[in-house]
Structure 1
Amino acid sequence: MEVLSLPNPAHHAISIRAKALAFEDAASKVLLERIRLIAPSDATVLVTGESGTGKELIARLVHSLSERAERPFIAVNCGAFSETLIESELFGHERGAFTGALESRAGWFEAASGGTLFLDEVGDLPPAAQVKLLRVVQEREVVRVGSRKPVKIDVRLVAATNVRLEEAVRAGHFREDLYYRLNVAKLVLLPLRERADDIAPLTRHFIDLYSKRLRIAAPVLEAEALLRLKRYSWPGNIRELENVIHHALLISRGGKVTATDLHFSSLGELSSGSAPAGGAVAPAAASTPQQALREALLRLFDEPHPDLWQAIEGEVFASAYEYSGHNQLQTSRLLNLSRNIVRARLADLGIIKGSAGGAL
C-alpha cells in the first residue's frame, strides 16, 4: 500500500480534507501496524491530527480492515451543522418535532446501522449534543428528537478532531466522561512535516492524478524540487501539497517540475539549506525532530545529573510506551527491540508491575 486515496476524489474537489495518504515514513509504518491491530475489533477509535492530515482516510482504512467492511461507512462533519440542527442530524427526528419537520427521519447513527459512523471534528460538538452522544455510546441506542422511544443501534464509532481534547476537557469545553468513552483506541496522525518520507509517494500520486485531469504527459520531478518539498513546513498538510503540485503542473514546461515551479504559502516556512526560488517565503531555521533532540541533549549535558543515561533511556521507553497506546508489542516494534527487553525495562521503571503488567 504506497498511497491510500478517497474512493471518488473528484467528488471532493473543493474539500479541505486530504484525499491521499502514504505509509512510507517510519512513523507512518508504525501507525499502519497499529491500525491493523485495532481495526478488526469493534472498539471506538479516536483519530487526532491537524487539519488536512488525512483523518477521514484513516477512518475509512479502519472500516475496510474490519468485519463491517461490506456495510455502510458514513462520514459526518460535526462542525458543519448549526447547534439547532446537529441533534436531529445525528439522532434523527419525528414528524412535528420542530418547525419544518414535515416527516420522520432517521439520523446518521441509524443510517450507519451495521457499519461505521465517522464523526469528524467531534471537538466542535455543543454541550447538549455531547450529553446525548455520551448516552448513545453508553447505551448503544438513540432517541430521536421529539420521541421518547429508544432505537437500538449497531454501529462502530470512529471520532476525529484537530482540537487537543485534553485541553478542551480542562477548559470545560468538552465533557471528561465523553472523552474517556471516545478515547478507547487512539490513533495519532502526525503532520506532514514530521513524516517527510511520505512526501515523495504523495507527490508522485498527485502528479499522476493531475496529469490525467489536465490530459498531459506526467512530468518528471527534479531532485531539487523534491528536496524543496521536504524542506517546507506544510501548515496545510496533504491538502496544501496537493494544491502546490496542481499549480506546478499548470505552469511547468519541458516535461519536468523544477524548484521554481513550486509556490508555497506565506503561512509556512522553508528550512535552511537552499535558497527559495519562486516561493513567497524566506528561509527559516525549522529544526527536524533529530535536531531538536540533539539540542535537548546538549542542554541536559550542561546540567548536573547523577544518572543521566538512565533518565534518558527511561524517557525513551516511557514515551514510546505511551505513544503505542500502552501496548508492549507495538512498543517493541517501534524501538526495534524484543518484547522481553521492553517488558523488563518497563518493569524496572515501575511503569508496569512485574513482568505481566500492561497491554500485550
Structure 2
Amino acid sequence: MTEHRQKLLIVEDDLDRQKQRKWSYQGFDVFCASNREEALALLREVEPDTKIIVVSGDGTHESALRAISAGAWDVDHKPEDIDALHLILRRAFHARELEVKNALLQQPDSDGALLLGTIRTASPEMVKVARTIERIAPADISVLLLGASGTGKELLARGLHNASGRRDKPFVAINCGAIPENLLESELFGHEKGAFTGAVKTTEGKIELAHGGTLFLDEVGDIPLALQVKLLRFLQERNIERIGGRTAIHVDVRVVCATHRNLSKMISDQTFRDDLYYRLAEVTVNIPPLAARTGDAILLAKHFVSTFARDMNPAIKGVSTGALAAIDAWNWPGNVRELENRVKRAVIMAEGAFVTAEDLDLGDGNADDLQLNLKAAREAADRKAITRAVARTEGNISSAAKLLGISRPTLYDLMKQYDLQL
C-alpha cells in the first residue's frame, strides 16, 4: 500500500550531517540542500508556503527573535534533541494542515467549501459528515454510509478512498441493486473459464480488481441472503474463490458500503445477516437529505447552472429570484440527484438569460405558491427536527420521540412519510 508522506526540506552545508539527519527522518519524504540557492530551488518544488524551523548553534534569545521576525515558525538549538525536533515538526505540519482547511472554509466565493476534493457544501450538517470521513479515512476499517437515494453516497466513498493510504490503488464500485441476482456472484467474485454456460474465459470479479484499494458496495441491502454468506466468509478470511475455481485467492481490500434501506429492520425480518452487518458497519456515517442541509440547495443549484450553461447553453447567465425561492421551498425527495437533473433540463430548455422556477418545473416561487411553500417549509422543519433529535439521542427512537414531544409510533410514521433512514 502506498503511504502518503509529508515533505521535509533540510538545509545543511555539512554533507555528513546532511546524511545523518536524512536518516533520522525516515518517516518523511526528505529533500536536502547544501546552500541557499539549492534550498530556494527545492522550496519551489516542495511547497512555497511552508513552515521554516531554524536549528542554530547561536543559542541566544536575540538570535531566536531575529529568526522568528524574519519568518521562521520555530527555533531549536544545537546540539538538537531529535525527539524534541520531531515534536516541533509534527506541530508544524498539524498547524499547516489546519491553516489549509480554514482557508478553504473561509473562501468568499459563492460555491462554498470544497471538502474531500469533491463535496461542495455550505451546510454545517455536511461539513460534519466530511470531517468524520476525514478522521476515519486513514484507519483501515469498514465503513457503512446510510442515506436516501441521491444524497451522494458514492461521492463520499470516493472522497474517503482519496483521503486514505489506498488513494493510489483502485477504487472499484458496484451497484448491488442494479445487477440480477444470478449474475451478482460472478460480478463480485469472478469465474473460471467453463464454470457455466457462456463463461468463455476466466474473469476477475470486482473484489479481486480492487486488490490494494477500496471496494464500494452500493445498495448492499439488496444482496440476497445466499450471497451474504459468501461475502461474510470473504470479510472474515480475506480470501475468495472464483465460481468454478478451487484455489483460494488472497485479496487486500477496504470495504465501504452504502444503502438507503433500513438494515436494522431487515435484520429483524431476517432478510439481512446481523453478523455481516457488524463486519460491514465498523463505523456508520449518516448522510442527511438535501432538505436538511442548510443552504445547500441554492448553493448547488447555482453551481450546476454555471457548469451546465458553460457546456450546453452559454446564453444562461444565472438563476432568477423566483427560481431561488422555489428551490429553497422544495423538499427535494430525490435529493442532489433530483436537483442536478432538474437544473440540467432547465438550462437546456430555458429561453431567457436566467433559469426560472417554470424552467425547473417548481412553480413561480412567488405568493401564488404560498400553500406549496408553507407545506414544504413544514416538511423541511420536520425533517430537520427529526434528524437532529435522532442524532442527539444516538439513534434511540424512544428517546428521540420524547425529545420531540411525540409518541414513538408517530415518530416512526413521520420517518416513513419523509423516507428518513436514520
- 1:289 is displaced (CA, Å) by 5.9
CA gap of 1:216–1:126, structure 2 versus 1, over 3 A, is same
Spell out the pairing of 1:40-119 with structure 2 (5 A cutoff).
40-119=138-217
1:139 corresponds in structure 2 to: 237
The secondary structure found in structure 1 opposite 2:341 is helix
2:304 corresponds in structure 1 to: 206
Letter of the aligned partner of 1:242 in structure 2?
E
> Does residue 276 of the first structure (1) align with residue 369 of the second (2)?
yes
Matches of 1:201 and 1:3, distance apart in 2: 10
- 1:54 is displaced (CA, Å) by 0.7
1:329 corresponds in structure 2 to: none
Matches of 2:281 and 2:335, distance apart in 1: 24
What are the superposed Cα offsets for residues 303-351 of structure 1, whole Å, 9 maximum, x if unpaired? xxxxxxxxxxxx97x943727xxxxxxxxxxxxxxxxxxxxxxxxxxxx
Matches of 1:264 and 1:293, distance apart in 2: 22
Matches of 1:218 and 1:293, distance apart in 2: 33
The secondary structure found in structure 1 opposite 2:340 is helix
The correspondence for 1:151, drawn from 246, 249, 264, is 249
Matches of 2:145 and 2:121, distance apart in 1: 16
The correspondence for 1:285, drawn from 364, 367, 375, is 375
Matches of 1:290 and 1:273, distance apart in 2: 20
Matches of 1:79 and 1:291, distance apart in 2: 30
The secondary structure found in structure 2 opposite 1:276 is helix
- CA contact under 8 A between 2:329 and 2:373: conserved in structure 1? no
The correspondence for 1:322, drawn from 394, 401, 412, is 394
> Does residue 186 of the first structure (1) align with residue 284 of the second (2)?
yes
CA gap of 1:152–1:206, structure 2 versus 1, over 3 A, is same
Could you tell me the TM-score, scaled by structure 1's length?
0.71
Indicate the structure with greater helix content: 2
Could you tell me the TM-score, scaled by structure 2's length?
0.61
- 1:273 is displaced (CA, Å) by 8.2
> Does residue 250 of the first structure (1) align with residue 343 of the second (2)?
no
Matches of 1:251 and 1:84, distance apart in 2: 41
Query: Which of the two has higher C-alpha Rg?
Result: 2
1:30 corresponds in structure 2 to: 128
Matches of 1:81 and 1:43, distance apart in 2: 26
- CA contact under 8 A between 1:45 and 1:184: conserved in structure 2? yes
1:340 corresponds in structure 2 to: none
- CA contact under 8 A between 1:40 and 1:67: conserved in structure 2? yes
- 1:148 is displaced (CA, Å) by 2.5
Long gaps (5+) in structure 1 = 8-19, 297-314, 324-360
Matches of 2:165 and 2:156, distance apart in 1: 16
- 1:224 is displaced (CA, Å) by 3.0
- Higher RCO structure (Cα 8 Å, ≥6 apart): 1
Long gaps (5+) in structure 2 = 1-103, 105-111, 396-422
CA gap of 1:189–1:177, structure 2 versus 1, over 3 A, is same
- CA contact under 8 A between 2:316 and 2:352: conserved in structure 1? no
Matches of 2:331 and 2:201, distance apart in 1: 49
CA gap of 1:115–1:275, structure 2 versus 1, over 3 A, is same
1:229 corresponds in structure 2 to: 327
What are the superposed Cα offsets for residues 3-51 of structure 1, whole Å, 9 maximum, x if unpaired? 76999xxxxxxxxxxxx74321110111111011011111101011111
Letter of the aligned partner of 1:285 in structure 2?
K
CA gap of 1:24–1:156, structure 2 versus 1, over 3 A, is same
Matches of 2:115 and 2:315, distance apart in 1: 21
- 1:196 is displaced (CA, Å) by 3.7
- CA contact under 8 A between 1:74 and 1:118: conserved in structure 2? yes
Report the number of matched residues: 283
CA gap of 1:175–1:250, structure 2 versus 1, over 3 A, is same
* Percentage of pairs with the same residue: 41
The secondary structure found in structure 1 opposite 2:185 is helix
- CA contact under 8 A between 1:220 and 1:255: conserved in structure 2? yes
Matches of 2:326 and 2:353, distance apart in 1: 19
- CA RMSD in angstroms comes to 3.0
What are the superposed Cα offsets for residues 112-170 of structure 1, whole Å, 9 maximum, x if unpaired? 11111111111000111100111111111111111232111110111011111111111
Matches of 2:312 and 2:115, distance apart in 1: 19
2:40 corresponds in structure 1 to: none
2:3 corresponds in structure 1 to: none
- 1:92 is displaced (CA, Å) by 1.2
CA gap of 1:23–1:148, structure 2 versus 1, over 3 A, is same
Matches of 1:250 and 1:95, distance apart in 2: 47
